[in-house]
Amino acid sequence: MAKNFLPVTSEEIRSRGWESPDFVIVSGDAYVDHPSFGVAIIGRLLEAQGFKVGIIAQPDWKNVEQFKRLGRPALGFLITGGNIDSMVNHYTVAKKKRKADAYSPGGQTGLRPDRATIVYAHKAREAFPGVPVILGGIEASLRRLAHYDYWDNRVRRSILLDSKADLLIYGMGEKAVIEIAEALQSGINIKDITYVRGTVYRTQNLPDPEDTVVLPTFEKISSNKKLFAESFMVQQQNTEAISAKILAEPYEHGYVVQNPPSEPLAGDQLDMIYRLPFARTYHPVYEKAGGVPAISEVKFSLVSSRGCFGGCSFCSLHYHQGKAVQTRSIEALEEEARQMVDDPDFRGYIHDVGGPTANFRLRACRKQEKQGPCTDRQCLFPEPCPNLEVDHSNYLELLRRLRKLEGVQKVFVRSGIRHDYLILDRDDTFFEELCAHHVSGQLKVAPEHVSPRVLEKMGKPDRGIYLKFKKKYKTLNEKYGKNQFLVPYYMSGHPGSDLDAAIELASFIRKHEHMPEQVQDFYPTPGTLSTCMYYTELDPRTMEDVYVPKTPHEKAMQRALIQFRNPKNYRLVREALIKAGREDLIGYGRRCLLRPRSESKEPGKKLKKKTGKSK
């Protein structure tokens, strides 16, 4: 028996003296007992509340016996696709199979099915009919209502219907799962648990009309893009616990009802969760396969916060975690860091101290404490809100105390920071200490683009903000004698970006940057404003038309333009420049992106051998 892990075999169940578990968690990921993995948090939290929990990780979904191996759960199955949506896990934005899976032993692929949450839910029902089936995790959360599915290129129903599950927990599910577990333990039927915040359920009857917003029917939004966009905006405006209303989505035979989100966790509640007795590594059963790669980046990292008020259009954090930042105490983070120091594999380096956005440690403004985040405006875009409080003092104090701990040599900030937020801080102390102590050679920032019309669709600031930040970063590094680089992330193919915008970005990179090593193609995943734009070709905020690059070839050209210096991209970049009427950028001038090249010298071209014969 692996004493420090939740049971994963029937032998481990019996060794604990259990006849059967209360809950069986079925996951698309390998079992890693670390607080960066949702299965570990939910399992340990239920255990701390006195419930018996077993784990079935990456079962063979073609064999129903795999779902019976821990016995019949007394209270229910908890189903998750894993830390990442299973379709994103399996496929690139070009819809090609990925070559590795960081959440599987040895990085092996093929250990979970496509649409894992749906498949597992059906198999759990087949294994033990009558046992409640409850969905959770990112895949369920972002697909909780009707959504555009990039891989099918159509609007799909709520995953609750396709999985035939009883209940769905969305967002960060700690409060909801405990309330549901206690209700089931008290004898309440799963069909009567319709009152828990942060859940979605099926019903034949519409909830109280006074407290409920009725969305357009699935039949209408699946055939009318304008109605889809309108419905999406209503959902986006009801993601905050204080202000959200009940949403009801009508289907042919009833409704899918979304309750308001769970209340954000207070600091002491977060601290309690992260103090649970995690083994902080993968289960020993994976040792022969080389372990689980996903643990490498997080094993010696600290999660300091949840939630993000950044408001990027292409990010699903708003839809999943909300805008309200929830922060762990400095004392709890120090305590966790001391545990790291005691680990025999620790080499003195804390790899990261962050969250969705590393330098968001406080709520955006005091108003949020009582009224919640605004539903009709953003904190940083298009201009910083007058109520925004820019304060890095708490984060700075945390970093200072961590780097003073015995056994800690360096504390790095590797998760992305919001450069537009940092540059607003009139006190340079944090920026200076960031450069002096907390950059591991490279600092990641995400300007994403430079074209005003693309940035507006992305919800990102003007390029001038980034250039101001870049200049200051360089000055501070020179002050401290540091040879540290800025790693800007740029995105190709985002809604609003045509070839002219892509060329504008390439020209900016030629003037201001080295060639980016990594380019992120826009990936239309469920739950984001940008995905709604991609599908509808409308901006749901204004209902204005949006240009969307959709053909693989145009997306390839836009991607190639960002890396125009790469010889492999020569043909695509040349084609894009000619198509856009920008031959002026092909030449020897300082503004040019390409130098003329004879056809015989193009990559991939083979010269014809002379035969000596004349025609």
Chain mean pLDDT for the chain: 93
Residue 296 located in a structural domain = no
Lowest-pLDDT range, 108-112, 147-151, 511-515, 551-555? Answer: 511-515
Q: Which helix (H) or strand (E) is 83 found in, with range?
A: none
CB 518 within 8 A of CB 492: no
CB 422 within 8 A of CB 359: yes
Which token pair is 201? Answer: 């359920």
Residue 318 located in a structural domain = no
Residue 67 located in a structural domain = yes
Average pLDDT over residues 244-252: 96
Residue 337 located in a structural domain = no
CA–CA gap between residue 615 and residue 602 (Å, rounded): 27
With a pLDDT cut of 90, the percent of the chain lying above it is 88
- In angstroms and rounded to an integer, the radius of gyration of the C-alpha atoms of the chain is 26
pLDDT of residue 230: 98
Domain extent at residue 591: 475-600
CB 136 within 8 A of CB 38: yes
Tens digits of residue pLDDT in 401-444: 999 999 999 999 998 899 999 999 999 999 999 999 999 899 98
CA–CA gap between residue 274 and residue 267 (Å, rounded): 11
How far, rounded to the nearest angstrom, does the alpha carbon of residue 151 sit from its chain's CA centroid?
18
| Total count of residues recorded for the chain | 615
Residue 142 located in a structural domain = yes
Residue 78 located in a structural domain = yes
Is residue 2 scored above 60 in pLDDT? no
Which of 258, 289, 316 represents a domain boundary (last residue)? 258
Which token pair is 56? Answer: 């079935």
pLDDT of residue 600: 45
pLDDT of residue 57: 98
Which token pair is 354? Answer: 């962050």
pLDDT of residue 3: 52
The CA-to-CA distance between both ends of the chain, in Å, stands at: 82
- Of 339, 360, 329, the C-alpha closest to 405 is 339
Tens digits of residue pLDDT in 382-406: 999 999 999 999 999 999 999 999 9
Return phi, psi of residue 268, to 5°: -70, -30
Residue 324 located in a structural domain = no
SS3 per-residue string spanning 513-532: CCCCCCCEECCCCCCCHHHH
Which of 258, 287, 307 represents a domain boundary (last residue)? 258
Confidence at 613, pLDDT banded by 50, 70, 90: very low
pLDDT of residue 376: 84
Average pLDDT over residues 233-249: 94
CB 378 within 8 A of CB 365: no
Tens digits of residue pLDDT in 68-120: 999 999 999 999 999 999 999 999 999 999 999 999 999 999 999 999 999 99
At position 610, the amino acid (one-letter code) is: K
- Of 290, 271, 274, the C-alpha closest to 282 is 290
Is residue 4 scored above 90 in pLDDT? no
Confidence at 602, pLDDT banded by 50, 70, 90: low
Q: Kindly list the distances between the CA atom of residue 433 and the CA atoms of 268, 302, 352, in Å, as whole numbers in the listed order.
A: 28, 19, 15
pLDDT of residue 610: 46
Tens digits of residue pLDDT in 317-366: 888 888 999 999 999 999 999 999 999 999 999 999 999 999 999 999 99
Residue 40 located in a structural domain = yes
Confidence at 209, pLDDT banded by 50, 70, 90: confident
CATH number at residue 84: 3.40.50.2300
Which of 220, 235, 258 represents a domain boundary (last residue)? 258
Lowest-pLDDT range, 127-131, 175-179, 349-353, 367-371? Answer: 367-371
Which residues have CB under 8 Å from 12's CB, separation 6+? Answer: 1, 2, 54
Tens digits of residue pLDDT in 272-297: 999 999 999 999 999 999 999 999 98
pLDDT of residue 615: 35
CB 538 within 8 A of CB 544: yes
Q: Report the number of distinct structural domains present in the chain.
A: 2
With a pLDDT cut of 70, the percent of the chain lying above it is 96
Which residues have CB under 8 Å from 1's CB, separation 6+? Answer: 7, 11, 12, 15
